[in-house]
Amino acid sequence: MKEFKKYSLNIKGRLVEIERPLVMGIVNATPDSFYDKSRVLDSEAIAARVSEMVAQGADIIDIGACSTRPGAQVATQEEEIERLNVAVPATSEAAPGTILSVDTFRASVARHCVEQLGVDIINDISGGDIDPEMHTSVAQLQVPYIVMHMRGTPATMQQFTHYDSDVAAVVLEELARKIDSLHQMGINDVIADPGFGFSKTVEQNYRLLSCLDMFHALEVPLLVGLSRKSMIQQVLGCTAGEALNGTTVLNTIALMKGAHIVRVHDVKEAVDARELVCFTRNH
């Protein structure tokens, strides 16, 4: 089992120590996310979902208001902000003091969420490729930034699954270049996400998971998003609604390989996996 490497994040002047893996609960304030039971649209439903996640042990709540599933119809900037204007305050009220992340690839949305809504972390599935202003904005906002590996856009990403050499080596190299650039811009708190399910085939996703140890060479915390994804569904022949057990298995593998954050729809099961892996690691 991989030894757990500790990191810290500067969140608005508060030093958050990552001394054990963190569980990030997903809140989808969208009508079209791939897992229908994760969708919560009004403030009451959002508050109830967030309260349940925090009670189950979520360390971070990640709010998305623009679906990024394969082939998704991208919400407009106005739609995304309108949804976040409901979801973020409802989350803050339901879980005061909990770290809040917003899943967006738009710099203007990131700026609005940090400056107007008090969000702590920006989670960018495109790693700055869709909106060239994103990295400059995050540098100015001085918040932790999750840089994910993806090619193309949510609508086109599965057209870009050809890699000239080993997928893990290529993704590692591309993330390393971005992280170096981000550090040079003064963005010190970077979290890396290999981007499971984004611009990768099923086989490539499992190759990434088997090589997850390699990504510790980036010397930043690693976030893994495997929850109920098609890479589980296609191997097991199940639906997203039936993919919880598979999700827990893959999260356990990622945690054993030293993942720092697991991003999940189902918090309790992820917390249980985390506790058992940590207990095993320490004995």
Report which of 115, 75, 77, 119 is spatially closest to residue 95, judged by C-alpha positions. Answer: 119
Distance CA 108, CA 129 (A): 14
Centre a 10 Å sphere on the Cβ of residue 176 and count the other Cβ atoms it contains: 16
Distance CA 198, CA 68 (A): 9
Q: Which listed residue (263, 268, 274, 281) is catalytic? A: 263
Q: Which listed residue (49, 229, 257, 274) is catalytic? A: 229
Calculate the CA 199 to chain-centre distance: 16
Calculate the CA 160 to chain-centre distance: 21
The question of whether 229 is a catalytic residue gets the answer: yes
What would the two tokens of residue 33 be? 């996310």
What would the two tokens of residue 171 be? 């993704």
Distance CA 166, CA 37 (A): 35
- Give residues with Cβ within 8 angstroms of 187, minimum separation 6: 135, 138, 139, 142, 145
Is 155 in contact with 69 (CB distance < 8 Å)?
no
Distance CA 114, CA 170 (A): 32
The question of whether 2 is a catalytic residue gets the answer: no
Q: Are strands 22-28 and 261-264 parallel, antiparallel or unpaired?
A: parallel
Q: Are strands 7-11 and 14-18 parallel, antiparallel or unpaired?
A: antiparallel
DSSP strand E in 72-186: where? 99-103, 121-124, 145-148
Calculate the CA 138 to chain-centre distance: 16
Give the active site residues.
229, 263
